[in-house]
């Protein structure tokens, strides 16, 4: 199946478990292999911030159709900082 850039741009992106991530806004092509290497996906509301951009590598894509793109469940997840393990270092008083 062939998908044109017109079909790819604005294509909805979902994780494998069905979570909506956003829409494809652009993509990057490797000129040596003529293959898409990254998809740029603009998200909606994530953790209080509007319109973050995800960079999804070709290896994270599970399927692409004219209706949607499905990506690995780990796409878009940011590890939370474990603040209990972070120690603030202050200069010693002289």
Number of residues written out for the chain: 94
Residue 84 lies in a domain: no
Residue 59 lies in a domain: yes
Residue 91 lies in a domain: no
Q: Strand, helix or coil at 40?
A: strand
Which domain covers residue 51, as residue numbers? 5-74
Residue 86 lies in a domain: no
pLDDT tens-digit readout, 51-86: 788 899 999 999 999 999 999 988 766 544 443 444
How, if at all, do strands 20-30 and 35-43 pair?
A: antiparallel
pLDDT tens-digit readout, 23-50: 999 999 999 999 999 999 988 755 555 6
State how many domains the chain has.
Answer: 1
Residue 81 lies in a domain: no
Tell me how far the alpha carbon of residue 70 is from its chain's centroid: 11
CATH number for the domain harbouring residue 70: 2.30.30.240
Residue 26 lies in a domain: yes
């Amino acid at each position: 199946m062939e998908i044109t850039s017109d079909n790819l741009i604005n294509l909805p992106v979902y994780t494998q478990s069905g979570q909506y991530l956003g829409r494809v806004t652009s993509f990057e092509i490797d000129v040596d292999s003529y293959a898409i290497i990254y998809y740029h996906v603009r998200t909606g509301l994530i953790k209080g911030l509007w319109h973050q951009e995800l960079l999804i590598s070709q290896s994270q894509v599970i399927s692409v159709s004219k209706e949607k793109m499905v990506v690995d469940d780990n796409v878009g997840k940011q590890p939370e900082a474990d603040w209990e393990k972070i120690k603030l270092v202050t200069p010693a008083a002289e």
